[in-house]
Structure 1
Amino acid sequence: MIRLALVGSGAYFLYPLYDNKIYFSHQETPENLNLISSSPSLSKGIFTPTPWLANGILQALFGSSKGELPGHTPYGKDFDYQREYIKLPDNGTISIDWAIHGEMDQNNKILIISPGLTGGSKSQYIRNAVEVAVEKGYRVAVVHGRGIHDNPLTSPKTNHCGLSSDLAFGIAHIHSKYPNAPLLGLGTSMGGNLMLKYAGETGKNCLLKGISVVSTPYNLPVVIKALGRAWPYAGFPEKYLLKNLRQNLQTNWQVLEEIGKESIDLEKALKAESVYEFDNLITCKIHQYETPDHYYQDASCVNYMKNIEIPTFALSSLDDPVVTSECIPYEEFKANPKLILGVTRTGGHVGWFNGMVTPRRWYAIPAIEFLDSVLGSS
């Protein structure tokens, strides 16, 4: 019995090393086939993970330890940014961190990055993408939501998973600043949800030429329901996300206390034992959703993907410990000729570490190669 268990666990962790293909779902249009063949990593069609990180939870644990070290490290460069604050019509504030690197003209291509729910320009998974984009000649703008990543909360409205109107405002601001520059988008995790939702909401009027998204929680009701499962990750993803939500709550405590009055129980939210409970106490109260289920359904990008009119590449991993593979909308990708989905056996959540001695995140390479292919084809 013990031998069988060891063999089974060994196969569970090592199988991704043998099944390292990228599985695509898309319509086989000339445009899609050209975009894939013009992107070296996608045309190669494989992702080989670090052998000792050949599982989603190992990728996640590494990413949250050595993979998140500050400053210049063997795992990624650091960048200096120039921050720009943007006032929203309701007096809220978003910010844009512009990566500082050399002189560029007004028409230089721009990569707009939308990070995860509580991430930002200093998060290493974002810096890894900035590094790839800079090497490929992009001006890089990282957009932060309300109250996120040292961005002040200046209105009663907080950031949430489906607040694509704020991202749209930031993109429009960048377009007005550089009207002749081609704009491309990269969304990670919840930022991917916002990017796809924005593209679907704007359709043919989208200001972006193309987008890439990774580890996207396409269907939030399915994702939230799976977060706290005992198998196979012992509820670790929910605990990790709750920790970040609590930290962000404490950062904005004073403002929320002033605006919340009797409608928001901050102390109770700080002790929430699930993301669902936290959203019921905070997000639903502030944004006037009847229930978290209503909020999750309304915020899910899967409802808008049929309306996307620009070339789009999405990368997902079947062993993502945060975004369950059950939420990947294969049919939506096959129904819209503008969408291309790439799925790997392993990769974790915004991870895809490869290399033996000093693993580096690989996800930004195919994501940005695809965007360069979009520019080349246009």
Structure 2
Amino acid sequence: MFVSESGSPYEALFRAALSIPLSHYLVGLSLILAVFLYNFFEMHFLEDFLTGFRGQPVILTFNPASQLYHDVVSQCRIFHRRYLSTPWLCSPHLQTIFVQFFGNPPVVNYRRQIFQTSDGGTIALDWVKSDEVKKPPSQLNDEFIQDDKNPILIIIPGLTSDSHSSYIKHLAHKMDKHGWNVLVINHRGLGGVSITSDCFFNAGWTEDVREVIEYLNCQYSSASLFAVGTSIGANILVKYLAEDGINTPVAGATALCSPWDLMLWERYMNRRYAQRIYGKALANRLKKYAHLHEATLLHLINWEEFKKQQIKILHAVSTSPKYKGHSFRELIDRSTRILSNYETVDTYYRQCCNSGFIKGVMVPLLCISSLDDPLCAMEAIPWDECRLNDNVILATTKHGGHVAFFQGLTARSVWWTIAVEEFFLALQSSFLSQRKNKVKIKHFRSSTEIFNGFNTYIKA
């Protein structure tokens, strides 16, 4: 025991503290920092280690009378195995960051088709140009797969994502190897295409997807159509399927990491500091999107007088580097709500909430969600709605992040793409996917009316 001459216990404690080597303090601080980072990033390495790196089972939610489960999903081995995330990506945040900035994407080449919608909008359709599977030479004209009976997979990316995104390339490459024709629908204003009308896409905008699918159904009548939506793209896809019901020509679909309930999603994005970082990142992406199409926004300033001031605010958001914005909601209120003609942000959220649309889905639908998704709240997952609809199978994993689900030591394997692959291949061989004869082809404009041009190019 240290006793000072003055008899002060505090001075004794101070001298005792000084006698401890500095290296011990550094070790202690390192341990505290490690514990903080472990909890902040919601890491689960210890959990994986203590369970012998066996992973966690995939939880399936479905109607017990579902023929989709008994005839299709029960044949998919991946849903009856455990999912173990890449050990050095043992965190939903690490998984999500990795897929956004790295992703280990395979090389995928595209052939672009410019599609013009009925309202004058322009969409870039990127078809995967296969180097492994030989296609007929008739691909070089605007009816390049008309006689091709191979299935067509339609991919609808998430917010501000396009055909360049690594997770899109993982799925496109995998399905292309099976000889499928893979098509990525880039949202308006994305994929290097300018906005040519006064309509902007949002979480509930289904018209573009509907027109493209009707075009494919009319132009390539011999091919079965399948669709995958990711994140906001999943929200759009489920809403479209419910709106069209039995009339959709889509034979099967997958919704990956859908936000489900946008009102819960917004609250979730403000719940913790990590989520607020994601919210700011999404807001910055939307600001860049607005800045990219500044000329179009300024052209739309001839709207009603009471909207002019709000458009000027949107312009300030997109051009001023000093503008911080108070929240992601504020940006939605000053941009998407106005451009999409919604009364309030809550009105926009309610009308685009696809958890209420699940009951209207009339085609085989696989929904995949991660319980630790840092961008989508677990409590928003519509468990009961999925269980009541025998056309829907909900697969949830304990870990996986947002549109990530990397597995293996090298993180070159993506679990959800394997799940989609097995599901679609099993569905294709099932009578549940035979919808071409049941769906009436709606009136569709001729190819000369819908094509604004066809450009062939390759991008890696």
Calculate the TM-score normalised by the size of structure 1.
Answer: 0.92
Q: 1:243 pairs with 237, 261, 284, which one?
A: 284
Alignment partner of 1:218 is 2:218: no
Cα contact 1:88–1:94 (8 A) shared by 2: yes
Cα contact 2:55–2:85 (8 A) shared by 1: no
Alignment partner of 1:260 is 2:296: no
CA 1:115 to 1:11, structure 2 compared with 1: closer, same or farther past 3 Å?
Answer: closer
Shift of 1:192: 0.7
Shift of 1:11: 8.6
CA 1:126 to 1:11, structure 2 compared with 1: closer, same or farther past 3 Å?
Answer: closer
Match in the other structure for 2:81: 45
2:56 alignment partner, SS class: coil
Shift of 1:33: 2.4
Shift of 1:166: 1.3
* CA offset digits 1:213-264 (Å, max 9, x no partner): 1111111111122113225x25222122112211211111111111135241
Cα contact 1:120–1:149 (8 A) shared by 2: yes
Cα contact 1:76–1:360 (8 A) shared by 2: no
Structure 2 residue identity aligned to 1:284: R
Match in the other structure for 2:158: 116
* CA offset digits 1:38-96 (Å, max 9, x no partner): 22312x332110012122111012222222xxxxxxx2222221211222221112221
Cα contact 1:110–1:181 (8 A) shared by 2: yes
Structure 1: runs of 5 or more not aligned:
68-74
Larger radius of gyration: 2
Shift of 1:18: 5.4
Alignment partner of 1:375 is 2:428: yes
Structure 2: runs of 5 or more not aligned:
1-27, 137-146, 303-307, 432-460
2-structure distance, mates of 1:330, 1:112:
26
2:83 alignment partner, SS class: coil
Cα contact 2:234–2:255 (8 A) shared by 1: yes
1-structure distance, mates of 2:71, 2:164:
34
2:226 alignment partner, SS class: strand
Structure 1 residue identity aligned to 2:272: A
Cα contact 2:124–2:191 (8 A) shared by 1: no
Alignment of 1:57-72 (within 5 A): 57-67=93-103
Match in the other structure for 2:111: 82
* Residue correspondences, number: 369
Runs of 4+ in 1 over 4 A off after TM superposition: 1-5, 16-19
Shift of 1:336: 0.3
Match in the other structure for 1:339: 392
Alignment of 1:294-313 (within 5 A): 294-313=347-366
Structure 2 residue identity aligned to 1:76: P
Match in the other structure for 2:215: 173
Structure 1 residue identity aligned to 2:206: S
2-structure distance, mates of 1:45, 1:224:
33
2-structure distance, mates of 1:11, 1:200:
35
Cα contact 2:102–2:166 (8 A) shared by 1: no
Structure 2 residue identity aligned to 1:81: Y
Shift of 1:153: 0.3
Shift of 1:20: 1.3
